[in-house]
Amino acid sequence: MDERVTRRLGTIWQSDRPWRVVTTLAEFEDRLGGHPGEKRAAEFLRDELEALGVEDVRQESFAIPEWTRGETSLLVHVHSKDRERTFEARALPYCPEATVEAPLVDVGYGTPEELDENDVEDAIVVASAATPPSADRFVHRTEKIGHAAERGAAGFIFANHRPGQLPPTGSLRVGDTLPAVGVSHETGEWLRDYARNGAAARLNVTASVEPGTSQNVRGRFGPETDASVLLVAHYDAHDVAEGALDNGCGVAVSLSVVDALRELELDRGVEIALVGCEELGLQGSETLAASVDPEDVHAVVNLDGVGRERTIQALTHGSDELGALAEEAFAAVGHPLEVQDRPHPYSDHWPFLRRGIPALQVHSQANDETGTWKRGWTHTRADTRDKVDQRTLREHAMLVTLLVRELVGTDLDRIDPQRLRDDLSDAEPSMRAADIWPDAWDE
């Protein structure tokens, strides 16, 4: 390995930057898109990029619908026992203000088949947050909620599949009219039992949506080339927790990668974009993608999920070349790597991928004992700094540095839109239910 590269990797290993960045981001209260903590985080990251000597650092604002939660209550009428019970529930961002009283219906995992097996019209449905064991891909909450809305449900309860009294969160689509809340695994078990016995529930949500502003923080370094590699990491987080794992770790890794690469000779320039509002429907990356010419982007590296678990996952989104590149880079240093080539539309690479730009998401989420993807602590109030391992942050920053260094010197084919569409064809009904199927694919 080049001696200069070795020295830069050693700098990462001894640096306090990754831990300091995670700590600082976790200290900003409420990094939900448009809220004060998100803006303070953007200003902090702008200063960090300037201190690293990154060129053309700027903070670019964009308009958003700013959602603010009020109170949420869930009351269950247990008719068979002539009593009422209240349970903790959290409105999902962009949940409308509403009061709904309706029968409870258990729909299992919330698949279209399970919804069709039950009478869900004008009912409050209870669905597990887990991906069905029979599925060969991750099933997103917006798909389940969209399918329930299509069938006339009056409300949606999203039950955590992991124990720990942790109601999950995750945004709805802007303008959704179906009230949706998250409850803990333990509450979900009660609600399923009550649903089987004909109970009804009263769901009340207060919330507001006002015109607001978010921002992306951008900069560049390396040589001036026709096309650059784009590093993307979202710095916003849900308002229920610190967002240390999602995505404080990804931001910390990205800054360490910038610190290492800026001192090396690179074959292409590198753009760095720390984006807001990922958790509210990829609004920051959608804004970013709309502002750049696709021909100016060689490839996207999305650092959403890196730094959490020991083994890195390379999500290559249908690019065989990216898969081979990642495997070779990791084999050279004897580090394990999981490669997944199936594309998905649920993180900041998506606005670029659907424009034909090769996209690599560096992830590290653990799987459960069956091999099924699990969310773990993220999107709950347990996403806190104590879950972060400093050693993992440093190792991942070193590995991503090696990966990006190889990527800037490698030519790549563009993504074939027809292949991408074909790869996602089995997800088309669900993507349409979630309102994320590209209009261009219908032309």
φ and ψ of 340, to 5 deg: -125, 125
What pLDDT score does 101 carry? Answer: 97
3-state helix, strand, coil split of the chain in percent (to 5) is 35, 25, 40
Determine the Cα–Cα distance for residues 241 and 7; give it in Å rounded to an integer.
Answer: 36
What pLDDT score does 78 carry? Answer: 86
Cβ-defined contacts of 410-414 (< 8 Å, 24+): 410/321, 410/325, 412/298, 412/299, 412/319, 412/321, 412/322, 412/358, 413/319, 413/321, 413/358, 414/356, 414/357, 414/358
Domain ranges within the chain, ordered by starting residue: 3-65+212-433, 70-209
What pLDDT score does 3 carry? Answer: 86
Respond yes or no on whether the N-terminal peptide bond of residue 204 is cis (omega within 30° of 0): no
- Amino acid identity of residue 74, one-letter, is L
What pLDDT score does 374 carry? Answer: 56
Determine the Cα–Cα distance for residues 374 and 358; give it in Å rounded to an integer.
Answer: 26
* Residue whose pair of structure tokens reads 């009263």 in the numeric block: 202
Residue pLDDT, tens place only, 29-55: 999 999 999 999 999 999 999 999 999
Q: What residues contact residue 235 under an 8 Å CB cut-off, 6+ apart?
A: 25, 31, 38, 41, 42, 45, 217, 247, 248, 251, 274, 275, 276
Residues with pLDDT less than 70, the chain: 80-81, 365-375
What pLDDT score does 239 carry? Answer: 97
Note the Cα 47 to chain centre separation in Å: 24
Determine the Cα–Cα distance for residues 233 and 248; give it in Å rounded to an integer.
Answer: 9
Determine the Cα–Cα distance for residues 375 and 159; give it in Å rounded to an integer.
Answer: 13
Catalogue the E-assigned strands of 118-166. Answer: 124-128, 155-159
CATH number (3.50.30.30, 3.30.9.10, 3.40.50.720, 3.30.420.40) of 70-209 reads 3.50.30.30
- Domain 3-65+212-433 sits in which CATH superfamily? Zn peptidases (3.40.630.10)
Q: 10 Å Cβ neighbour count for 73?
A: 15
3-class DSSP state of 137: coil
The predicted model scores a pTM of: 0.96
Residues β-bridged to residue 180: 156
